[in-house]
Structure 1
Amino acid sequence: MNDAVAPADDALALIACADDPASADTVAFARLIGARIGSGELLLLGLSRTELDALIARHFPRAAKRAGLPHAMLWSPHWAFVSELRALLLAHDVTAATHPTDAHCLATIIATACLRPDHLWRDLGLSGRDDVTAILERHYPGLVERNVNALRWKKFLAQEVALAHGRAVTGAPGCPGCEDFGFCYPVDAG
C-alpha cells in the first residue's frame, strides 16, 4: 500500500464509523488520528490511552477497539513546552468543539506535534498549512488574528508561548530539525 494513501484511507475508515460524519470536529479528528494509525504512531498524538479511547468513542462509536493502542504518552524533556502551549490554546479556545474534552484533546495533539522536526501540518499528518489554519480558525480565532505577520504556525505558537511567559522568543522544540529552520530563524551575519 502506498504510504501517502494510508492516512487518508484510515481517516475515511474512521469517518465511516462516525455518528456525525459531517461534523468539522469529527473530520478533523479522523484526519489527525488517521494519519497516525497506519504508521503505528498513535503515541505522537500525546494522548493517554484513556483520552484516545474516549475521543474515538465520542466521534467514531462504531470503530472496533484496536489492539495495540498506546497506554501512555511518550516521555519528552519538552513536556513543559507542551503543557504551556496546551494552556495557551485552551485559553484562546472559543469552545467550537462539540464536547468539552475535545478542546483538551485537540490542544494536546497540536502542542505535541510541535515536538516533531517538520512543518506543523506535516507533523499533524495533514495535507498543508491551510488545513492547520482551518483547525486553528475554528477553535482559536483570536489567536489566529494575532498572527499578523503570517508566521508559520509552529513558529508563531512557540513565539506566543515565550511571550506569554516573559521569555525570549525561540523556536518550538521540534523546529531545529526542520529543513526550513534557517528560513524561520536566520543566523544573524552580524
Structure 2
Amino acid sequence: MTGSLSDFEHLAAQCRDSLTGVPGGARSPDAWLFARLVAAREVRGERALLGLSAATLGALAARHFAASGGALAAPQHEALLVLDEAHAAFVAAMRDFLVGLAAPEVDADDARCLATILAHACLRPDHLWRDLGLSGRDDVTQMLTRFFPELVVRNTDNLRWKKLLARELALSVGGVPGPAPGCPGCEDFGFCFPGGKAAVQGS
C-alpha cells in the first residue's frame, strides 16, 4: 500500500473510528489506545507487525471494539512476521519483562497484548511513538503510565523510551545495557548511543 503520511493518518483515523464505533472517541481510554495502535498498522497492511495472533487480536477486539472489530473482519493477505532466533528471544524476554511490571488495576490480557505490541515495536528502526503509530512521545508516556508505571518512574534521565525499555530489560537479567534491535536504524541512534559501540540486544 502506498500513500503519503497524511493519507495514512486519515485512513487510520477512519479505521480507528470504525473500530471504536464512536467517531473521535471510544467507550474507554484503553479502547481508544488499542484502536489507535491497531488502526495504524491495519491501514498499511501491516497487521502482523503487532505481533498478535489472530485469536489474541480477536479477543482484544471483543473486549474493546464495536461489533468485535468489524473493521478487522476481512483477512489481510500479508506475509507473517518472521523473526530470527535472536529477535524472537528478545521479543519473548521483553514481553515477559513488561507483563511483570503491569499495573495491578489494568486488565491482564490487555497488558499482555500491549507488552507484545511494544516488544515487536522495539525491532523497528524509529522512535517508539512512530513505530506504534502514535502522535508523539507524550502518547507513549501516557500509555506507559497507565499500563507499566514503574517504567516511567525509572526514567529519571528522560531517556528515549525504546532505549529505556532495552536498558531496563538488560538490567533485569544482569546484562549490559545496549540498544534494542531496531535502534541502529533510527535517525537518533548516534545521539542515544554515541559512537554506536554498544552491543545490540538480540543481535
> TM-score of the superposition, structure 1-length normalised?
0.90
Q: What is the distance in 1 between the residues matched to 2:181 and 2:196?
A: 20
Q: Percent identity over the alignment? A: 50
**Deviation of residue 113 (structure 1)?**
0.5
- What amino acid does structure 2 have at the position aligned with 1:118? D
Q: What is the distance in 1 between the residues matched to 2:74 and 2:133?
A: 22
Give RMSD over aligned pairs: 2.3
- What residue is the counterpart of 2:122 in the other structure? 114
- What residue is the counterpart of 1:34 in the other structure? 39
Match of 1:3, SS state, is helix
Q: Which runs of 4+ in 1 moved over 6 A?
A: none
Q: Which has the higher helix share?
A: 2
**Cα distance per residue 1:56-82 (max 9 Å; x no partner):** 121114132522247995121201111
**Cα distance per residue 1:27-55 (max 9 Å; x no partner):** 10000001011111010000011111111
Name the stretch that deviates more: 5-14 or 65-74. Answer: 65-74
- What residue is the counterpart of 1:43 in the other structure? 48
Name the stretch that deviates more: 150-159 or 48-57. Answer: 48-57
Q: Does 1:81 align with 2:86?
A: no
Name the stretch that deviates more: 107-116 or 73-82. Answer: 73-82
Is there any run of 5+ residues in structure 1 with no aligned partner, and where?
Answer: none
Provide closer, same or farther for how the CA distance between residues 92 and 72 of structure 1 changes in structure 2, counting only shifts above 3 A.
farther
Q: Does 1:5 align with 2:14?
A: no
Match of 1:187, SS state, is helix
Match of 2:73, SS state, is coil
Is there any run of 5+ residues in structure 2 with no aligned partner, and where?
Answer: 198-203
Question: Which of the numbers 144, 156, 164 marks the counterpart of 1:148?
Answer: 156
> TM-score of the superposition, structure 2-length normalised?
0.85
- What amino acid does structure 1 have at the position aligned with 2:168? E
- What residue is the counterpart of 1:175 in the other structure? 183
